[in-house]
Chain A
Amino acid sequence: MSEAHILLVDDERSIRDPLASYLSKNGFRVSRAADAAEARRILAAYAIDLVLLDIMMPGEDGLALCGHLRATSGIPVIFVTARAEEMERILGLEIGADDYVVKPFSPRELLARIKTVLRRSGDRPSRTPGRACEAFAFGPWVLRTGERELIDAEGVAVPLSTGEFNLLLALVTHPRHVLSRDQLLDLAHGRELAAFERSVDNAVSRLRRKIEPDPRSPTLIRTVWGGGYSLAADVKRL
């Protein structure tokens, strides 16, 4: 993956050109497209590793193009958009985007996100669409990744911090597996860049306070002596 090929789709020349040169400088091969039609031509001609996609474009918009990509390929998509509302973010992720950055963004942060998404898609070549927006049911809880929320049996949303969310996501994607602290740290880090420096134990105890009926004798997140933690519940993808 020394030179991943990124397709940059944005109708704004003032974004397209400097961003393309920034990404080139940082070791990517970049193709540019000003609209969806041009993007489709490039997608047909080259092996693209990742698409950076603007949502609001004249003609076919980014959401439609993303839907097309999801239906025909497993190429990861990151939305780059000037629409900042939370609803847009979730909509984008529901359509099957892997991530979402809002203009104006820090190019360095975008770079980090590109790398994360590329690594993840490299890990799992046969990705299922809608990876970034899923729901996992375990015990009385449902974890929704789009909203990053836990929903309880009564439908009440219990918000999680980034750290708690990442840890829980790692656990529900590996149910009944014993995950060591290092593994958990790794899995959680791979998901989000936001700080997760605090100890895994601390995050686990916070999570237990939120999801265990009795945090002192946990039944959902079990401590495995000498090993780490494991989620003692069956997980169903919704």
Chain B
Amino acid sequence: MSRFLPKSLLGQMLLLMGAALFVAQLVNFGFILNEQQKLSLAMNEGPAITRFAHTAGRISAAPAEIRPMLAADRPGPGALYRIMETNPIDAEGLERIEEIERRLIRALGDAGVKPRAVRGSLLAARPPVHSDGHRHPFHRGDRLVLLAAQLGDGSWLVGRFDVPRTDPWLVHRLLLGTVALYVLVLGAVLWIAIRLARPLRDLTVAAERFEGRSESPPVEPRGPSDVRQAIEAFNAMNRRTLALLDEKDRMLGAIGHDMRTPLASLRIRAESMEPEEEKARMIATIEEMAATLEDILVLARTGRAREPVRAVDLAALADALVEEYRALGKMATFEASPRAVLDVQPNLLRRALRNLIDNALLYAGEARVRASGEESGIALIVDDDGPGIDEARMAEALEPFSRLEESRNRDSGGAGLGLAISRAVALAHGGELELKRRPEGGLSARIWLPKVDQAAT
């Protein structure tokens, strides 16, 4: 059920206001109809009561024998009088209307008649039907007032009057008023909601696009003042975040410099060490430290890399990279792929792909690379026939410093940053890194880079 309800600010405001208006209108209708009824008594039934009282005065003054004749004589337009043994209102069980009866007693009093009892009722458009199927003889019009007064001798003078229908256009006018109200109120709500929703959408877009680079322009503050304040606070937060990121970069740069220099010093001194095998081990350790340092710096800086974005043929990039491995005698192959051009940071991407190839070479001794250009983007894929990774641990494999062999045996790999860097590079390009078990066994690592329509963004 709840999924049919609107999720957006605009939709929710419109729905809520619409529902509130509907309830308010229902209550309003009730009041208006009640009020209308009272007004109608005074306006429509009032004259009938006066006429009835007048006639009752004349008739009650006359002898009982001529009363029926008097009652039938010239009743006036839309009126009918009868002298009856019983009153039809009680006989038919019609609804008695107190307000009418009260007015009737007052009017009869004014005319000098003291009735033993009075009855007053209104008949609606559709008359009640007798059990024998005949309609009540008094009922002919659409809307009738039945008035009855019991005279001194116990007989009833009964009068029936056609009365004008109460305001036949009332419902139409009320409906029209309701529609006008809806248009006005919902229009105002719509306007306010749009005024709120637009800057909020700007804010959302800006937050989604925030890449931690200084170029991202501030969001233009607009809308009501509280929204403006939120936008200004967001812009200020962006500036603080950028300042923090800049500081991080400066710090990393300093760390990089300060660590590389002593490592370089060690590396040079190691060259003159004896014996030879001790020297080789020391050099290996230093180079590993340098590589790990490099990886950490790269990982920490991806997404803020200063390398400019350029149009590059990724098939040629992968091909050239594989060729370097082949030149070093590694078992890497590139499956000839058609040109696949995309705007990328080529050095970062080269690094990401190199990490995947290194992994394949490490665990499978062989790497098969291909580039596949598709409508929506380009995939760089590295397949191997190695042991692969358990499906359950694939997410873990992408985390920085995660190494799936528990031993953390350094001989079998670096610091566990390779895949994390590859993924960070893919993310920085708006893409992703996917690991998959190949059905034939082995792992398939895929860097997916979507084609971003630069003009649209």
Contact = CB atoms under 8 A, between A and B. Distances in A.
Contacts of A157: 310-313, 346
A219 to B, nearest CB: 19
Given A104-B286, A195-B328, A158 B316 contact: yes
A159 B256 contact: no
A103 B260 contact: yes
Given A82-B256, A161-B321, A107 B268 contact: yes
A162 B324 contact: yes
Nearest to A148: B320
Interface stretch (A84-92, A112-120, A172-180): A84-92
A194 B327 contact: yes
A15 interface: yes
Contact of A15 (B264, B271, B294, B307): B264
B260 A156 contact: no
Contacts of A234: none
B286 to A, nearest CB: 6
Contact of A161 (B294, B307, B327, B346): B327
Interface in B281-307: 283, 286-287, 290, 294, 297, 306-307
Given A12-B261, A164-B323, A18 B328 contact: no
Nearest to B325: A161
B320 A82 contact: no
The B contact surface, by secondary structure, is: helix
Contact of B260 (A82, A106, A164): A82
Contact of B311 (A12, A19, A155): A155
Contact of A22 (B260, B271, B347): B271
B77 interface: no
A140 B256 CA distance: 41
Interface in B382-413: none
B11 to A, nearest CB: 46
B317 interface: yes
Interface size class of A (residues with CB under 8 A): 35 or more
B368 interface: no
B326 interface: yes
A14 B262 contact: yes
B89 interface: no
A159 B313 contact: yes
A19 B266 CA distance: 10
A86 B307 contact: yes
B261 A14 contact: yes
B341 interface: yes
A156 B341 contact: yes
Interface in A197-211: 197-198, 206, 209-210
B268 A22 contact: yes
A107 to B, nearest CB: 5
22 contacts: A14-B262, A15-B268, A18-B265, A22-B268, A25-B272, A82-B261, A84-B294, A87-B307, A102-B260, A103-B263, A104-B267, A105-B264, A149-B346, A154-B311, A157-B310, A157-B312, A159-B320, A159-B321, A161-B324, A161-B327, A163-B323, A195-B327
Interface of A: 12, 14-15, 18-19, 21-22, 25, 56, 82-87, 102-108, 149, 152, 154-164, 194-198, 206, 209-210
